Structure 1
Amino acid sequence: MKPAGVCVIGAGWAGLAAAVRLTQAGEAVTLLEAAPHPGGRARGVDLDGTRLDNGQHLLLGAYGQTLDLVRALGVQESAAFLRLPMDLGIRRAGAPDIGFSSLYLPTPLHLLGGLLTARGLPALARLRALPGLARLMRWQGQEDCSVLALLHRYRQPGCLIDGLWAPLCVATLNTAPERASARLFTAVLRGAFSGHRSHSDLLMPRGSLSAALPDPAMGWLQARGARVHLGCRVQALRPQPGGGFHLALRGGDTLAARQVVLATAHPEAARLLAPLPGLCETAARLRRLQTEPICTVYLQYAESARLPTPLLGLLGTTGQWVFDRRFAGEPGRMAVVISASGSHMALDRAALAGRIQEELAAFFPEWGRPRASWVIRERQATFRAGVGCDALRPENATPLPGLWLAGDYTATGLPGTLEGAVISGVQCARAMTQPTRGTNPTP
């Protein structure tokens, strides 16, 4: 391969963000991706002849860097995403549904009013939710603690924890509240529930996730001269005495680069960093950063099957959130998301699909039996957003000049989200193109 100015390793959302912003800054970029397709853990896949997303994703209106990047690629937000005000319904077996709707009021009154008028929760619990939300958004404790411990500290009743806070915690942090970081949870609340009222909007991809960002980014990069190599795995990084790196590729080829952005998932980053001078400790910290899975069960019913809203929560079931894929042009197809680890991970695909089918039949018997089902498990979907995990997360810069890190696992102040990945890539590109580029400060 020809020498590269900057080599970005990994074409997930962090790597794509870095590659686009570096190209905009005038850098000659080479993008390497081990998989045969871009997008990392958030992309479209073909499964048994059917195009599906590798997990159902939901964006927030507060995802400013992601939406800016989408617009920079020439993609219209309205064409890529369905934007809805926060309107959450949660269905419970043998109990009234819980309903939360943001009101058409200035922030934060639109959410405070929504909490006060929430359906299915006792009046006292709703009254306690108001100061609880305010305290959670203000909390910036020097010592991290679990989300559950913080909720108890602020005297949030059990019905409110079970019906509101715990589902939000698992959905946003992909970590159970008894082990999840309160620091990261409160950061998410501040991002979504402060600022403009549109920050709390829900954005659902109208089609495949690949069409929202990965595919447009690849086309944009190639049109501007970036070299892109899919199915190209980096086996090792070798710093050179005069600066720069040689990349050992699978198959025996090598690539020279002046600077490298390592934008893989953190377990792969740890593998590549461990042999490098001054980075053994960084690799060790990344190995201690545990992961959590996400399962998505797709069920195809008759086209007449539909939810009352595009998104519905479930309590007391294995399935946690149901998405009606009608908004993506797939009437009758339901995507059921199960975040974080649990006993469901021991079930095989057929058993898990059968359990989810039974759970939906209890709530929607009129749907009948699904015509088809698909199960997608991402066993290392995100890093575990546990108490104290920020101490394990590295900065973009490394002690090795010319080597940079990008990924949702870096020190973004957010959990493992698409926005966190994009922010990391953008921050990395910005740091690299400053006047002192290539002379990474030691973190």
Structure 2
Amino acid sequence: MNKRVAVIGAGWAGCAAAVTLCRQGHKVTLIEASRTLGGRARAVQIQDQLLDNGQHIMLGAYTACLDLMRLLKIDQSKTLLRLPLQMVYPHQTGMQFIAPKLPAPLHLIFALVKTRGLNREDKMALARFSTTARWMDWKLNQDCTVSELLQRYEQTERLCRLMWNPLCIAALNTPPERASAQIFLNVLRDSLGANRLASDMLIPRVDLTHLLPEAAATYVKQHGGEVIDGLAIHTLVPTENHRWQLPELTQERSNSSIFDCVIVATNPDQCARLLGTLRPLSSDDEQFASSEMAFEYEPITTCYLQYPESVKLSRPFFALADEPTKNYWGQFIFDRGQLNATQSGLMAVVVSASTGAIEQSHANLAQAIMQQLAQQLGIPELAQALWTKVITEKRATFSCTPNLKRPTNQTTFRNLMIAGDFTESAYPATLEAAVRSGVMAAKAIV
């Protein structure tokens, strides 16, 4: 039977849940506290243009994201730049690893043979790790940290510094000495260990709100649903017949405030607060709302640097050698002008797990990053930008540590689900984890 379902939160998880529900024939009300859809992956206004609150890289292995984009008829050739798997540093720094367009695993074998900046010992260590991981089916008997895993399989210092550690921080947003080795292996399994297209890197050409959430909102409206922004939901009230009331919804904002089911697709803290307003039916309910969503968090910082339109990199993006002791914090630089013709001269520099970097002021951090770029890329013009903007999401992701307990989509309350990148998953806190969680929560309604 068709049900009335409220989805609280229009991030990527909430949008995925809303679209899936509409496709199943349910009547959906998608509610977002902000005026901008997308949650922690959204557009922001900077210098009269829409940019992202953080530069992202997606993977070809993000099957749930790509399937949802196809359902929404989003033209991926126009909205995403697809590049082969690569880890390319500037010539002044070292390694250049680029996978050719060959069937898996030949693309990795040829990439390893042709890689510059690694010696024979480094390449043998990389081949040994990849072979062993496949033999283990990418599974550990006991989870440990990524650093412990790399040490166990005798990965060289240079290989860890230029390949494994940057990949770990980029994928899990958690330093390797604290990051879950099993989750890291899961990401490698679905990218390096799968077909060649799965390992491709997908860089958004448009801002993240336009990339998916706005198309999802349009889909909901076209299927008879509602999209309400600028409304925060603070209370859930159970009613008769196991239905739910949202008191903040008035007749001016919605057709009804009573719903057959509710999916809470906010961040973990907001979700815990909202569930905490409910009277526990048992001691398990109270434990669910508190301990299972008590995460530690990791920040991500993006530094935007606008240069004259003539400034251009030789590639769409480079990996950077971060050295905090030298005040070098940048880990990746993206030439936005090669992604979007209207953004010539604009660079986006990403600092994942940026706790140390954000201890200084935005102005000092931007200056340090500009000096790093000029030195490592060998382009003196990068030492002085026309303007800079530093954006930090202090709670961008949870800290993805070994054996971390994450809640399921199901709550102990009937007809009440949760969704988000923090729910139980084989993936870290990524767009793919968020979309998968939203789809699973929606399917659990049935």
Q: What's the TM-score bracket when you normalise by the shorter of the two chains? A: over 0.9
Match among 280, 285, 288 for residue 279 of structure 1: 285
Amino acid at match of 1:338: V
Paired residue for 1:171?
170
Shift of 1:105: 2.3
| Distance change >3 Å, CA 148–CA 346, structure 1 → 2 | same
Q: Take 1:163 and 1:420, find their aligned partners in 2: how far apart are those partners?
A: 26
Amino acid at match of 1:6: V
Q: Take 1:17 and 1:221, find their aligned partners in 2: how far apart are those partners?
A: 10
Q: Deviations over 1:243-283 (max 9, x none)?
A: 11122328999922110001001111111122432422122
1:307 aligns with 2:313: yes
Shift of 1:368: 5.4
Paired residue for 1:232?
231
Contact 1:80 1:211 in 2 (8 A): no
Identify the range of structure 1 (178-187 vs 277-286) with the bigger mean alpha-carbon deviation.
277-286
Q: Take 1:112 and 1:408, find their aligned partners in 2: how far apart are those partners?
A: 33
Q: Deviations over 1:322-362 (max 9, x none)?
A: 01101122111100000013321112221211111111122
Q: What pairs up with 1:42-81 in 2 under 5 angstroms? A: 42-81=41-80
**Where do 4+ consecutive residues of structure 1 move more than 4 Å?**
250-254
Contact 1:14 1:408 in 2 (8 A): yes
Paired residue for 1:400?
413
TM norm structure 2:
0.92
Paired residue for 2:394?
379
Paired residue for 1:415?
428
Amino acid at match of 2:370: Q
Paired residue for 1:295?
301
Q: Take 2:374 and 2:189, find their aligned partners in 1: how far apart are those partners?
A: 37
Please state which structure has a larger fraction of its residues in strand.
Answer: 1
SS of the aligned residue for 1:75 comes to: coil
Paired residue for 1:437?
none
SS of the aligned residue for 2:235 comes to: strand
Amino acid at match of 2:302: T
Shift of 1:91: 3.6
Amino acid at match of 2:263: V
Q: What pairs up with 1:31-50 in 2 under 5 angstroms? A: 31-50=30-49
Amino acid at match of 1:308: S
Amino acid at match of 2:340: A
Paired residue for 1:328?
340
1:370 aligns with 2:385: yes
Q: Take 1:298 and 1:154, find their aligned partners in 2: how far apart are those partners?
A: 38
Q: Take 2:365 and 2:267, find their aligned partners in 1: how far apart are those partners?
A: 27
Q: CA RMSD in A?
A: 1.8
Contact 2:298 2:355 in 1 (8 A): no
Aligned residues: 426
Q: Take 1:301 and 1:333, find their aligned partners in 2: how far apart are those partners?
A: 6
Q: Take 2:344 and 2:430, find their aligned partners in 1: how far apart are those partners?
A: 27
Contact 2:409 2:437 in 1 (8 A): yes
Paired residue for 2:183?
184
Q: Take 1:250 and 1:352, find their aligned partners in 2: how far apart are those partners?
A: 43
Paired residue for 2:100?
103
Q: Take 2:196 and 2:407, find their aligned partners in 1: how far apart are those partners?
A: 32
Match among 416, 419, 426 for residue 439 of structure 2: 426
Q: Percent identity?
A: 40
Paired residue for 1:268?
270
TM norm structure 1:
0.92
SS of the aligned residue for 2:247 comes to: strand
Q: Take 1:417 and 1:304, find their aligned partners in 2: how far apart are those partners?
A: 34
Amino acid at match of 2:43: G
Contact 1:15 1:425 in 2 (8 A): yes
Q: Take 2:334 and 2:39, find their aligned partners in 1: how far apart are those partners?
A: 22
Paired residue for 2:329?
318
Paired residue for 1:82?
81
Shift of 1:431: 1.9
Contact 2:370 2:383 in 1 (8 A): no
Q: Take 1:283 and 1:66, find their aligned partners in 2: how far apart are those partners?
A: 28
Could you list the runs of 5+ residues in structure 2 that have no partner in the other structure? none
Paired residue for 1:213?
212
Shift of 1:208: 1.4
SS of the aligned residue for 2:16 comes to: helix
1:126 aligns with 2:105: no
| Distance change >3 Å, CA 179–CA 222, structure 1 → 2 | same
Q: Take 2:75 and 2:112, find their aligned partners in 1: how far apart are those partners?
A: 32
| Distance change >3 Å, CA 250–CA 429, structure 1 → 2 | closer
Q: Take 2:132 and 2:12, find their aligned partners in 1: how far apart are those partners?
A: 33
Q: Deviations over 1:224-260 (max 9, x none)?
A: 2111110111111122243111223289999221100
